Amino acid sequence: MSEQENKNPISTSTDQEPPKPKKKQRPAPEKIIPHSKDMDATKHRVHPRFVTGKYQNIRVFSMYAIMVFFLILPWIRWDGRQAILFNVIEPKFYIFGATFMPQDFYFFAFVFIIAAMTLFMVTVYAGRVWCGYACPQTIYVHLYQHIEKWIIGERNKRIKFDKEPWSVSKAAKLLAVHAIWLLISAITALTFIALITGTDYLFFNGATPFFMGWGKMTWIFFLLITFVTQTNAGYMREHMCVHICPYGRFQSVMFDKDTLIVSYDYERGEPRGARKKGTHPEGYGDCVDCSMCVQVCPTGIDIRDGLQVECIQCAACIDACNEIMDKVGYPRGLIRYTTERQLVEKQKTKVISPRIFAYIFVLGACITAATLVAVGRSPLEMEIRHDRKQLSTVGRDGLIENSYVLKIVNKTNEKQIYKVKLEPVEGLTLRSRFKQLPLQANEPYDLPVSIFGDASKITASSTPITITVYTEDGQYSASREDVFLYEQKSKNKP
Ligand code: SF4
Ligand code: SF4
């Protein structure tokens, strides 16, 4: 434990006066301080103290609700099958009642753009709420640190434990921590893979035990995701946020004077210093220099140094400081959610700005486009491919033949029976291998068809044609245009 952590900042002794307050330079409020060299993953391990409070309650609820949702996601059923399934082998994505095939994947481009724009807009106004309350990295790190606390103990014990020489008890505790981490990592990997292969293949494949029925790729992905989860949440932790995550890097570009940030009230807190309980020595600010805000920080920074790139805005320092303020009888909020305009310029935060209109406009345009695409999705997909090898041939009967392949996909969730017809053109007739084509739900089929032309009635070298595929009941239909080609030299052949 550091010297700072050992001292009691709220002294009850009456024979000692607190030392003279020291003036510190105020950190520039508009500047996000880059990460310090001390945050090197190989040299520095942060053991945060666990704290309770209003923000931590919200945080814990939101984090574990997201985690539970993720874990139950592959087990939700819809119309008798897995509700969310990203089958990359077929490839088909099932999202509740909708089925997305490769030709629909541009729809996901809209989804990603909307998600990114929403994240940018939220960051401009609410800062890094995603990092503190919903990011999977933060959720897993919090959970893994909780396990460490459960087996080894609170912060001080974990710091001491790291420095202890090896013993049977230390090895047993470490083994227990790693075994539980590994179990959670394996469950995470299984959940991910179940969203791709389906729970039926993964768990109910007939083999005993179930994993004996897995293919080579399933094993590779299972081991890979388990390893990545274990490494990220168990060892990389805050270094992932500081050194690797691009969002943490570019957030400084999005922050402005009206962005909500976790801030230390420098004017109120400084000069900081220890004091007798229930007193407020002259010349001192409200910060009793207890270091609790540093001890609870999962990234190991001191928020009193100003806004730093490592700060994931988890608000643990707010809850910790509020608890101290309650103990010393000062008002809460020495560290609080505020904006630079409010804290430094003593003005009201501006919510309405040209920036918000720009975000709303772009976001609205993307949502409209995605909705139109989703609504306009045809339940029957059809394309015509003209046979390129032989555009037109002449049969013994003198008829000119053009061959095509109709690529038909039943995108409904029921079996459909399709028929094919050629929109009438004088001298042209369509022949198909099947009179009716039954297709199961989401089944694709390449149907070869031919169009025959009567040479005495076809004069143009290229005649526009329209082929229609339709269901027997007339509910679904799709038409596509192509051409019927007639090479003049074929006219003179016997
Ligand atoms: S400085 Fe405060 S809000 Fe930022 S990461 Fe540390 S504890 Fe969380
Ligand atoms: S800001 Fe609050 S928690 Fe941090 S050292 Fe000062 S009094 Fe303690």
| pLDDT tens string 245-256 | 888 777 767 788
What structural domains and CATH numbers belong to the chain?
A: 380-492 (2.60.40.10)
**Pair of tokens at residue 33:** 């301080």
Ligand 2 binding pocket mutation candidate from 22, 270, 280, 290 (most atoms within 8 A of CB): 290
Mean pLDDT, to the nearest integer, of 434-447?
Answer: 87
Residues with CB under 6 Å of ligand 1 are 262, 296-299, 301, 303, 311-317
Lowest mean pLDDT of 135-144, 272-281, 289-298, name the range.
Answer: 272-281
Distance 296 CA to ligand 1 centre (A): 8
Distance 317 CA to ligand 1 centre (A): 6
Give the closest ligand to the alpha carbon of residue 289: 2
Mean pLDDT, to the nearest integer, of 12-33?
Answer: 53
pLDDT at residue 389 in the model: 73
pLDDT at residue 17 in the model: 54
Q: Is the peptide bond prior to 27 cis by the omega test (within 30 degrees of 0)?
A: no
Distance 179 CA to ligand 2 centre (A): 36
Residue whose CA is closest, atom 3 of ligand 2? Answer: 321
Residues with CB under 6 Å of ligand 2 are 264, 269, 272, 287-293, 304, 320-321, 324, 334-335
Mean pLDDT, to the nearest integer, of 432-457?
Answer: 87
Distance 250 CA to ligand 1 centre (A): 18
**Pair of tokens at residue 225:** 């995701």
Question: Distance between CA 202 and CA 215 in Å, rounded?
Answer: 10
pLDDT at 39 over 60: no
Q: How confident is the model at residue 18 (pLDDT cuts 50, 70, 90)?
A: low
Residue whose CA is closest, atom 6 of ligand 2? Answer: 287
Ligand 1 binding pocket mutation candidate from 32, 35, 59, 311 (most atoms within 8 A of CB): 311
Mean pLDDT, to the nearest integer, of 223-242?
Answer: 91
Give the closest ligand to the alpha carbon of residue 56: 1
pLDDT at residue 30 in the model: 47
Give the closest ligand to the alpha carbon of residue 325: 2
pTM of the model: 0.77
Higher-scoring residue by pLDDT: 465, 79: 465
Question: Distance between CA 451 and CA 431 in Å, rounded?
Answer: 6
Distance 315 CA to ligand 1 centre (A): 6
Residue whose CA is closest, atom 4 of ligand 2? Answer: 293
**What ligand 2 atom has the least distance to the C-alpha of 335?**
1
Mean pLDDT, to the nearest integer, of 46-53?
Answer: 92
Distance 146 CA to ligand 1 centre (A): 17
Q: Is the peptide bond prior to 74 cis by the omega test (within 30 degrees of 0)?
A: no
| pLDDT tens string 377-429 | 778 888 899 887 777 888 777 888 999 999 998 888 788 999 999 999 988 99
pLDDT at 494 over 60: no
Size of the chain in residues: 494
pLDDT at 10 over 80: no
pLDDT at 234 over 80: yes
pLDDT at 12 over 50: no
Return the amino acid letter for 196.
I
| pLDDT tens string 334-365 | 999 999 888 888 888 887 778 788 888 888 99
CB 305 within 8 A of CB 325: no
Mean pLDDT score of the chain: 85
Higher-scoring residue by pLDDT: 13, 435: 435
Distance 16 CA to ligand 2 centre (A): 21
CB 23 within 8 A of CB 267: no
